[in-house]
Structure 1
Amino acid sequence: MRSDKDRATTKLASIVILVAMGLWLGLSAAGGALGLPVRFAFLIDMLCLAALGWALINLFLVWRKGAGKE
């Protein structure tokens, strides 16, 4: 059984993944349509990858914590 903190972390990580992917797709399309410089595309990519990395690390830690109980 997972603790409330683990469930909250999992829920937050899933929201971060959803928002990051939506922003990544939306801002990349908008940047291309508006003709923004490539450096902004790299900035958007790096920010979204950082958010996805944070979510992956937190989900891995919750998974490892749960794997040790069984």
Structure 2
Amino acid sequence: MTTEHSDQQLARKGRMVSLVIAGTMLIWLGAQWVGKMAGLPGRYALLFDFAAIAALIWALVNIYQIWRARQASKG
């Protein structure tokens, strides 16, 4: 039962990571487009870039944690 529960938690975490990656890209693309159309200065684009980078780093850390947990459960 504990392995099933652990697998479910890892799957849930994986789904969350995938949603964060997809959502980040959609929001980032939208922010770039809106910023260009509204004529916002480049510093706002840089702010959106840094926010997207932060979200993707969070996703990368979580992907590594999922990978390590699966490796630990194998052996």
Mark yes or no: TM-score above 0.5. Answer: yes
Q: Relative to total residues, which structure has the larger helix share, 1 or 2? A: 2
- How many aligned residue pairs are there? 70
1:36-55 map, 5 Å? 36-55=40-59
Residues 4-50 of structure 1: per-residue CA shift (max 9 Å, x gap)? 21111111110000100001111101111111011110110011111
Q: Could you list the runs of 5+ residues in structure 2 that have no partner in the other structure? A: none
- Helix, strand or coil for the counterpart of 2:55? helix
1:13-52 map, 5 Å? 13-52=17-56
Q: Which has the larger radius of gyration?
A: 2
Q: Could you list the runs of 5+ residues in structure 1 that have no partner in the other structure? A: none
Higher relative contact order (CA 8 A, sep 6+): 1
1:4 corresponds in structure 2 to: 8
Q: Percent identity?
A: 34
Give the TM-score taking structure 2 as reference length.
Answer: 0.84
Moved over 4 A (4+): none
- Helix, strand or coil for the counterpart of 2:73? coil
Give the TM-score taking structure 1 as reference length.
Answer: 0.89
